[in-house]
Amino acid sequence: MTTATADLALDLKDVDKSYAAGWFKRGVHALRGIDMHVGRGEVFGLLGPNGAGKSTLIKILMTVISPTRAQGTMLGRPIGEKTTLARVGYLPEHHRFPDYLTGRQVVEFYGAMSGVSRRDRKQRAAQLLDFVGMAKWADTKVRGYSKGMRQRVGIAQALVNDPELVLLDEPTDGVDPVGRRDIRQMCQTLKDRGKTVFLNSHLLSELEMICDRVAILVQGRVASQGTIDSLTTHRQRYEIEVASDDSNVDTALRGALSSWLRPDANGALDGQLPTGESIDVRLDQPHAPAMVKVATADAAKVQPLLDSIRAARLTLRAVRPIRPSLEDLFMEAVTDPETGKTLAPGAKEGA
Amino acid sequence: MILTQTNAMLVDAYRELNSKKMFWIALALSALVVLAIACVGINDKGLTILWWTVSLDIINTSFLSPAAFYKTIFIQFGFNFWLAWVATILALISTASIIPDLVAGGSIELSLSKPIARVRLFLTKYATALLFTGLQVAVFTVASFLVIGLRGNSWEWSIFLAIPLVLLFFSFIYCVCALLGLVTRSTIAALLLTVLFWFFLFLVNTSERAVLLFKLNADDRIESAERDIGNIPELITRSKDRIAVFSSVREGESDAERTRREANKATEEAKLAGLELRMGTRQQNLTEYKATRETLTKWHNILFAVKTVFPKTAETMGLLERRLTSLNEFAAFEDAQEDRIEERRERRARNQNGVAVETNEPSPRVARRLEEVLRQRSVLWVLGTSILFELLVLTICCSIFARRDF
């Protein structure tokens, strides 16, 4: 094992899953060679539209689904090895706990199933139920719990074996804002304790707040992965807002930027800097200032444009650097570059 | 770790059954049944129910010992009716949901994501269902043992054989329920289809038993016809001899003597004609019986082959009766019963001339022969082939459970 591999909680190579066609269903190629790396001690976010294969990937890691093909390791052991699961915690997306058990019994039962000794699981159950804010309801039957309370107990059971890696599939699903904040804080606490947290969630803003690294899965492939900074740096841009009080702002702005803009074939105003970064001019929005968007994070490259706009005696209302959000990244990943339309949800059919 | 996990699953199964209350309902009903058995007794006059006596001709201590009476009550009512039917249905209702609940979405992910092999997970769940059924049977058997001991003054240790036998009987049916629960993921579907399967076993068993009874009846008739056919020639010879004697005119024979001789001759000739007719009829009967036996043998072989493949639930339960009672033990009681049946049968079978004719009703002799044949079936055949069926079903279950993507 290389040192790099030892530092990784998850090192996935070429994970592939095809569901064979049946009598009444068509075959589905859910995962198409996933390569993914999750470092130890980081909070990793897995994003993707419905049917992208996120839950399938997690289920493969947890041996709930067998892969068609998979290489790589989880906590240094080959994928699919049952004994590794003693060091992993898991909260499934639509989990269903036996409703005849109390919260405490749920945590203790799944602790026992993970091989935790009686004394340890009793002690940990009490600590974890307190950690997830369920100490008061620990001895109430699960059938009386709200969705949020079930999620909290679910997180407690995922941590009962003191795992090195925790996989949480939609942990904030159905949870109110207070609960979501609590769950974010729990993830942060787990990270502080040196645990690796692997999150699958639709709530991009939350992932953005807590994830060190993310991967975007689209139609069974990793569209992009890395730290949020690394993914957004080359997508950063400057937005220049020009006052549009004067009715001649259109002509004046075209004239000021003429050396950078392409011939106006279809009424669109776009062009590029000598270094290749794109320029996009929006003049057609009523009651809104004219907007010049320059696809660069380098302030120096924007200066010639500003000089030209000023020289044309136009008023600059604002110049601001824009860093794309995770949502922008996500939408970019799920948009078909050819048609510009959002890709249909679901995995691709056929092999 | 294995012990911790197994123990956790056992405790969980107990909590699940406890939450359904069915475990305690079944246990309470079992207690009521034992109490009912304890209330019934036997004395020299007939049956006793608490402090009342019901006078009966056959069921009294002259024909049946108290021990044999209680064993019969236990076997026929407690074992063959209560444990084999009612308690089994209650146990099926209680445990049918164990496998569908295990594979239900949201639950199976949690179980499979633990460090436990799939086959062990499935088999442990399966075993917990059997264990709690075994517990029910054990409680009932211990109570019955005490009743037979205290009321019948017979401490019958063999009665504890009921525990493994009922458990095996239940497991033969439950393995199918588990397979159906795994495939359909529905408790109701699994339960209904299992009851259907059980009904199929009942039909096969009843048909096989009925065909065997008719076959043995045909054997009995063939034996009787062959005996007749063997005896009739001798009777014909004797009759012919007597006709010859009656035909010869003796010297000095008076008119009265001649008239009597000729009358005797005529009677004997009529008897001879009857014998010759009977010979023909019996030969025809024999041919018919042999053809019937051939058809019945063919059908019995088919049913027996089907029965060999499937679990032998009735025979499994019958093993306890075989072990606990011998046919001789009930000889006095059965003889008395047989005499009455035979008498009634003959009365019905006689024609107006008082000559015995054949009826289609099997004789008690055939019924006893059937019992002997059933008792002669080896334990290896009864249990061995049934266990093989269960192992096959469990192998299919494990194979599905180990390979399926949930």
Lowest mean pLDDT among A190-199, B7-16, B248-257: B248-257
Q: Tell me: pLDDT of A329 over 90.
A: no
**pLDDT confidence of residue A1:** 43
B333/B63 Cα distance (integer angstroms): 5
A233 and A248 in contact (C-beta within 8 Å)? no
Higher model confidence: residue B356 or residue A294?
A294
Beta bridge partners of A321: A238
B366 and B216 in contact (C-beta within 8 Å)? yes
B317/B78 Cα distance (integer angstroms): 12
A336 and A208 in contact (C-beta within 8 Å)? no
Higher model confidence: residue B112 or residue A19?
B112
- Residue in B67, B39, B41, B83 with CA at minimum distance from that of residue B326: B67
pLDDT band (50, 70, 90) for residue B352: very low
**Where on the phi/psi map is residue A17: left (φ > 0), alpha (ψ -120 to 50), or beta?**
beta
Alpha helices in A269-351 (DSSP H): 299-311, 326-333
**To probe the interface with B, which of A77, A94, A102, A114 has the most B CB atoms within 10 Å?**
A114
Alpha helices in A132-217 (DSSP H): 147-159, 177-192, 204-210
What 3-state DSSP class applies to B156? coil
Q: Tell me: pLDDT of A155 over 90.
A: yes
B82/B171 Cα distance (integer angstroms): 17
What per-residue string of b and e applies to A49-60 under the rule 16 or more CB within 10 Å gives b? bebbbbbbbbbb
**pLDDT confidence of residue A345:** 61
Q: Tell me: pLDDT of B73 over 80.
A: yes
Higher model confidence: residue B394 or residue B251?
B394
User: What's the token pair of residue A29?
Assistant: 């190629």
B231/B238 Cα distance (integer angstroms): 11
Mean pLDDT, chain B, whole residue set: 87
Q: Do B110 and A86 touch (CB under 8 A)?
A: no
Phi, psi at residue A218, to the nearest 5°?
-135, 125
Q: What is the mean pLDDT of residues B247-254?
A: 83
B383/B169 Cα distance (integer angstroms): 9
Residues 6+ apart with CB under 8 A from B260: none
Q: Tell me: pLDDT of B356 over 60.
A: no
Q: Tell me: pLDDT of B284 over 70.
A: yes
Lowest mean pLDDT among A337-341, B5-9, B189-193: A337-341
Higher model confidence: residue B57 or residue B174?
B174
- Residue in B362, B367, B377, B379 with CA at minimum distance from that of residue B330: B367
B170/B200 Cα distance (integer angstroms): 15
In this structure, is the dihedral angle defined by the CA atoms of residues A262, A266, A269 and A271, taken in order, positive or negative? negative
Residue found by looking up tokens 């009681």 in the block = B333
- Number of neighbours of residue B248 by Cβ within 10 angstroms: 10
pLDDT band (50, 70, 90) for residue B353: very low
Chain B contact for A114 (CB, 8 A cutoff): yes
Q: Which residues of B fall within a CB distance of 8 Å from A118?
A: 4
| Tens digits of residue pLDDT in B303-333 | 999 999 999 998 898 888 888 776 565 565 5
Residue found by looking up tokens 């044999």 in the block = B68
Residue found by looking up tokens 């393995």 in the block = B175
Q: Do A112 and B116 touch (CB under 8 A)?
A: no
Q: What is the mean pLDDT of residues A174-199?
A: 91
A46/A169 Cα distance (integer angstroms): 9
Distance in Å, alpha carbon of B71 to nearest chain A alpha carbon: 41
Q: Tell me: pLDDT of B132 over 80.
A: yes
Q: Which residues of B fall within a CB distance of 8 Å from A59?
A: 109, 405-406
User: How far is the first Cα of chain B from the last one, in angstroms, to the nearest whole number?
Assistant: 24
Q: Tell me: pLDDT of B355 over 90.
A: no
- Residue in A20, A19, A60 with CA at minimum distance from that of residue A36: A60
State the maximum Cα–Cα separation within chain B, in Å, rounded to a whole number. Answer: 117
Q: In chain B, whose CA is at the least distance from the CA of A158? A: B110
B1 and A115 in contact (C-beta within 8 Å)? yes
Whole-number percent of chain A with pLDDT over 70? 92
Could you say which DSSP state residue A199 is in? E
**pLDDT confidence of residue B167:** 94
- CA angle at B341 for the pair B339 and B347, rounded to the nearest 5°: 100
A203 and A174 in contact (C-beta within 8 Å)? no
CA dist B148 to B159, B317, B403, Å? 10, 19, 50
In a 10 Å sphere around its CB, with 0-12 CB exposed, 13-18 middle and 19+ buried, how is residue A231 labelled? buried
Distance in Å, alpha carbon of B12 to nearest chain A alpha carbon: 8
Distance of CA A210 to the CA centre of its chain: 10
Q: What is the mean pLDDT of residues B200-219?
A: 94
A243/A313 Cα distance (integer angstroms): 11
pLDDT band (50, 70, 90) for residue A271: confident
Distance in Å, alpha carbon of A226 to nearest chain B alpha carbon: 27
Q: Tell me: pLDDT of B21 over 60.
A: yes
Residue found by looking up tokens 């026992």 in the block = A112
**pLDDT confidence of residue B350:** 53
> Taking each helix axis from N to C terminus, what angle separates A103-113 and B2-20, rounded to the nearest 10 degrees?
150
B344/B364 Cα distance (integer angstroms): 11
Which helix (H) or strand (E) segment holds residue B359: the answer is: none
**pLDDT confidence of residue B354:** 42
Q: Tell me: pLDDT of B41 over 50.
A: yes
User: How far is the first Cα of chain A from the last one, in angstroms, to the nearest whole number?
Assistant: 33
B212 and B307 in contact (C-beta within 8 Å)? no
Residue found by looking up tokens 């009294």 in the block = B60
| Tens digits of residue pLDDT in B78-124 | 888 888 888 899 999 989 999 999 999 899 999 999 999 999 999 99
Q: What is the mean pLDDT of residues A116-126?
A: 94
What per-residue string of b and e applies to B101-113 under the rule 16 or more CB within 10 Å gives b? bbbbeebbbbbbb
Q: What is the mean pLDDT of residues B2-25?
A: 87
User: What's the token pair of residue A197?
Assistant: 């947290």
**pLDDT confidence of residue B347:** 64
Chain B contact for A26 (CB, 8 A cutoff): no
**pLDDT confidence of residue B197:** 97
Mean pLDDT, chain A, whole residue set: 87
**pLDDT confidence of residue B214:** 93
pLDDT band (50, 70, 90) for residue A76: very high
The amino acid sitting at A34 is: I
Q: Do A157 and B110 touch (CB under 8 A)?
A: yes
DSSP structure string for A98-140:
-TTSBHHHHHHHHHHHTT--HHHHHHHHHHHHHHTT-GGGTTS
Lowest mean pLDDT among A151-155, B53-57, B291-295: B53-57
A222/A203 Cα distance (integer angstroms): 18
B286/B300 Cα distance (integer angstroms): 20
- Residue in B4, B123, B2 with CA at minimum distance from that of residue A82: B2
A346/A29 Cα distance (integer angstroms): 10
- Residue in A231, A202, A171 with CA at minimum distance from that of residue A52: A202
pLDDT band (50, 70, 90) for residue B361: low
Q: Tell me: pLDDT of B196 over 90.
A: yes
- Residue in A246, A234, A318, A338 with CA at minimum distance from that of residue A283: A246
pTM, entire model = 0.81
B108 and B185 in contact (C-beta within 8 Å)? no
> Taking each helix axis from N to C terminus, what angle separates B162-184 and B87-95, rounded to the nearest 10 degrees?
40
Residue found by looking up tokens 């009358």 in the block = B263
What 3-state DSSP class applies to A14? strand
The amino acid sitting at A99 is: D
In a 10 Å sphere around its CB, with 0-12 CB exposed, 13-18 middle and 19+ buried, how is residue B35 labelled? exposed
B106/A284 Cα distance (integer angstroms): 51
Q: Do A92 and B110 touch (CB under 8 A)?
A: yes
Q: Do A19 and B405 touch (CB under 8 A)?
A: yes
Distance in Å, alpha carbon of A158 to nearest chain B alpha carbon: 9
Q: Tell me: pLDDT of A11 over 60.
A: yes
- Residue in A333, A324, A338 with CA at minimum distance from that of residue A49: A333
> Taking each helix axis from N to C terminus, what angle separates B162-184 and B313-324, rounded to the nearest 10 degrees?
170
B8/A119 Cα distance (integer angstroms): 14
Higher model confidence: residue B354 or residue A251?
A251
**pLDDT confidence of residue B210:** 94
Higher model confidence: residue A186 or residue A349?
A186
Q: Which residues of B fall within a CB distance of 8 Å from A92?
A: 106, 109-110, 113
pLDDT band (50, 70, 90) for residue B363: confident
Distance in Å, alpha carbon of B140 to nearest chain A alpha carbon: 27
Distance of CA A105 to the CA centre of its chain: 33
